[in-house]
């Protein structure tokens, strides 16, 4: 029954004092007292809650990735340009390392020859034979040079001996000339004495004529000896000229042979360079041939084919297919603002809420949160990313609950990096004023600093 109007009131129908709850409201004094008590309890709880511990944290959005770079999803490119001839896998297939994914054919006319490797190998063998011929020719020329040098040595010794002989002959002829001159002087003196004695009548004219004939003979011998000496000197000069001629002739022959040998060696080295170039081309052709088959670099799943049509051409370095490694270690890639970067340390605890997994998270009281997972910071970039924020890698905490098995790289996640414990009132005051979280050092860093200070004191 409703108390709609004074005429139809319920106060006359029921006894309100009969019920305890109604007696409270009817008694205004008690009601005011109860109200004050409720207010006091509420304010006491409110003030008490301001002194409760609050864990400071840094919120961020991140993505699931792999801790090891080689275990992250990757795109396979074609090393060479070509034309797709056949596919050997389908999207979603599991492949082993080395399995053939697709086959491409050649599109450049420089490699159309089906016997390209065979012809290149024949060129290498031909050039190698030429190189051996040049080497043999250089060895023959070296032998010829040694023979010329030996002959030159012998010829020079022979010429020097001849000069020595001619020199001795000149000396002997010089001595003979001196003897002839002495004989001429003696004969001339005897002629003078004979002439004096003839005038005194002691010798006959016949004796005088004999002595004069003797003088003429000695003079003729002296002239002949002088002629012989000049001839010997001329022979000595000729021997020396012959020595110089021999030396010049052999020098010319040795120089010519050495020049021809050096030219042969130069041709041999040029052939070596051509052989090396051809061998390099042969290796390149072999590698290029092996690149016709695009294989899986590791075990994984084919996620998407970026080039699909048979006969479709691909350029060098163009993406063809993406593969997701089968074995990977999960991690979270989170980004923090430069304002919070100094607060991040390797080994710090992080709470994670994965997209698709229900969770109730109290940022200030992580201990009472439900559905979140633990992680630890393992790496911090020293330079900002393209978005102007610092990238941080978080790995699973081995002491916490394992991450869900259904998590895959690329999934979204919300991260909460846990910092210092502060009172609630301080956190409210910090948030109102827009101050950053308290700067602190982890326990390991503080211990390291204390050890350094102790070492410094000992010194």
Mean pLDDT of 3-10: 58
The CATH architecture annotation of domain 116-290 reads Orthogonal Bundle (1.10)
- How many CB atoms lie under 10 A from the CB of residue 388? 9
Mind listing the pLDDT tens digit for each residue in 60-112? Answer: 888 888 888 888 888 888 888 889 999 989 888 999 998 999 999 888 888 88
- The residue with greater pLDDT, 196 or 275, is 275
- Cα 248 to the chain's mean position, in Å? 56
Nearest to 197 by CA among 210, 183, 185: 210
**Average predicted confidence (pLDDT) for the chain:** 81
Fold of 54-70+329-458: Elongation Factor Tu (Ef-tu); domain 3 (2.40.30)
Least confident among 29-33, 100-104, 247-251:
29-33
CATH number of 73-106+292-324: 2.40.50.100
pLDDT higher than threshold 60 for residue 2: no
On whether the CB atoms of residues 76 and 307 are closer than 8 A, the answer is no
100, containing H or E segment: strand 100-105
pLDDT of residue 445: 46
At residue 22, the pLDDT reads 64
Segment 196-233, tens digit of pLDDT: 877 777 777 777 777 778 878 888 888 888 888 888 88
Instruction: Collect all residues with Cβ–Cβ distance below 8 Å to 383 and sequence separation of at least 6.
Output: 390
Averaged over 340-350, what is the pLDDT? 83
Where does the pLDDT of residue 457 fall: very low under 50, low under 70, confident under 90, or very high at 90 and above?
very low
According to the model, what pLDDT value does residue 393 have?
92
Mean pLDDT computed over 170-197 = 82
Q: To the nearest 5 percent, what fractions of the chain are helix, strand and coil?
A: 55, 20, 25
In this prediction, residue 280 has a pLDDT band, given cuts at 50, 70 and 90, of: very high
Contacts of 119 (CB under 8 A, 6+ apart): 113
For residue 261, what is the DSSP state? H
Domain boundaries, the chain: 1-49, 54-70+329-458, 73-106+292-324, 116-290
Edge-to-edge, what's the strand order for the sheet holding 313-314?
293-295, 100-105, 82-87, 313-314
The more confident residue out of 151 and 16 is 151
Give the model's pLDDT for residue 439.
52
What backbone phi and psi angles, to 5 degrees, belong to 413? -160, 150
Of 131-135, 215-219, 268-272, 279-283, the range with the lowest mean pLDDT is 215-219
pLDDT at 441 over 60: no
């Amino acid at each position: 029954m409703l108390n709609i109007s004074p005429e139809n009131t319920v106060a006359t129908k029921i006894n309100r004092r009969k019920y305890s709850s109604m007696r409270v409201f009817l008694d205004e004094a008690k009601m005011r007292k109860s109200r004050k008590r409720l207010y006091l309890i509420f304010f006491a709880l409110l003030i008490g809650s301001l002194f409760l511990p609050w864990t400071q944290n840094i919120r961020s959005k991140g993505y699931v990735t792999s801790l090891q770079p080689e275990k992250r999803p990757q795109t396979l490119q074609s090393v060479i340009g070509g034309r797709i001839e056949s596919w050997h896998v389908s999207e979603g297939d599991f492949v082993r390392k080395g399995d053939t994914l697709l086959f491409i054919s050649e599109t450049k006319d420089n490699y159309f020859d089906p016997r390209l490797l065979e012809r290149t190998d024949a060129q290498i063998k031909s050039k190698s034979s030429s190189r051996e011929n040049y080497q043999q020719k250089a060895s023959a020329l070296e032998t010829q040079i040694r023979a010329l040098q030996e002959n030159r040595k012998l010829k020079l010794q022979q010429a020097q001996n001849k000069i020595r002989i001619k020199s001795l002959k000149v000396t002997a002829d010089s001595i003979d000339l001196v003897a002839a001159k002495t004989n001429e002087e003696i004969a001339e003196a005897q002629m003078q004495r004979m002439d004096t004695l003839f005038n005194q009548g002691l010798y006959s004219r016949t004796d005088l004529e004999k002595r004069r004939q003797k003088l003429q003979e000695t003079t003729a011998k002296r002239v002949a000896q002088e002629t012989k000496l000049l001839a010997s000197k001329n022979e000595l000069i000729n021997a020396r000229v012959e020595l110089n001629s021999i030396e010049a002739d052999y020098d010319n022959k040795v120089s010519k042979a050495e020049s021809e040998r050096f030219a042969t060696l130069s041709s041999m080295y040029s052939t070596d360079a051509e052989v090396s170039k051809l061998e390099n081309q042969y290796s390149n052709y072999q590698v290029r041939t092996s690149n016709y088959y695009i294989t899986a670099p590791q075990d994984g799943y084919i996620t998407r084919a970026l080039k699909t049509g048979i006969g479709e051409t691909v350029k060098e370095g163009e993406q063809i297919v993406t593969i997701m490694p089968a074995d990977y270690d999960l991690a979270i890639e989170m980004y923090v603002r430069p304002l919070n970067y100094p607060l991040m340390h390797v080994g710090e605890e992080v709470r994670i809420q994965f997209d698709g997994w229900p969770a109730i998270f109290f940022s200030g009281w992580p201990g009472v949160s439900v559905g979140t997972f633990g992680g630890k910071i393992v790496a911090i970039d020293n330079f900002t990313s393209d978005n102007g924020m610092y990238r941080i890698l978080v790995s699973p905490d081995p002491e916490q609950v394992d991450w869900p098995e259904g998590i895959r790289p690329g999934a979204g996640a919300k991260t909460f990096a846990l910092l210092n414990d502060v009172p609630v009132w301080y956190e409210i005051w910090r948030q109102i004023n827009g101050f950053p979280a308290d700067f602190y050092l982890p326990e390991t860093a503080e211990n390291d600093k204390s050890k350094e200070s102790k070492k410094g004191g000992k010194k």
